[in-house]
Amino acid sequence: MVRCGSKKLNYNLVSGGKVVIDLFAFNDYIEGQKFQDYTLLPEKIILNDFIRERHNMHCKRTFLFKDWTKRTIDLHWKVFNQKELENLAKNTGYKIQNIYADFDINLVTNLDPKSQKMRRVVVLEKI
């Protein structure tokens, strides 16, 4: 199991190269979400849009490579739309291959209301 991100999404590597993301690791934010799974393909990485810490005005974006090495970038907190995600990917040498999970969550926390938007996991492909 590999843990990454401020709220510790859990990655379980199972047979066939498939990965299951345990969303219940977010149980203080998300209730009753089902597991999402995807297949890790060569030359693809996963971009995780993490929920910020309540006291932190920055959001950590972790680029998780298929060999499980990680590179985390702190960005000033804002809600990224798809075009901004595409630009972020392009600026790091990748293009969006698929957005396989998109959550529209009403976070029951003291977060800024503008942050009560979508959380997404994006599969990136090397350009």
User: What is the DSSP annotation of the chain?
Assistant: -EEETTTTEEEEE-GGGEEEEEGGGGTTT--SPPPEEEE--TTEEEEEEPPPPTT-SEEEEEEE-TTS-EEEEEEE-----HHHHHHHHHHTTEEEEEEEEEEE----SSS-GGG-SEEEEEEEEE-
> CA 38 to CA 101: how far, in whole Å?
10
Q: What is the pLDDT of residues 60-116, one digit of tens each?
A: 444 443 334 444 433 333 445 567 667 766 776 767 666 543 333 333 333 444 443
pLDDT for res 87: 73
Q: Is the pLDDT of residue 4 over 50?
A: no
Of 9, 123, 7, 121, nearest in space to 66 by CA = 123
Q: What is the pLDDT of residues 30-71, one digit of tens each?
A: 333 333 333 332 233 344 433 333 333 333 444 443 334 444
HSE-up of residue 91 (Cα within 13 Å, Cβ side):
8
Q: Is the pLDDT of residue 122 over 50?
A: yes
Q: pLDDT class for 26, splitting at 50, 70, 90? A: very low
pLDDT for res 86: 73
pLDDT for res 90: 76
Domain tally, the chain = 1
- Computed on alpha carbons and rounded to an integer, the radius of gyration of the chain in Å comes to 14
* Structural domain boundaries, residue 21: 2-126
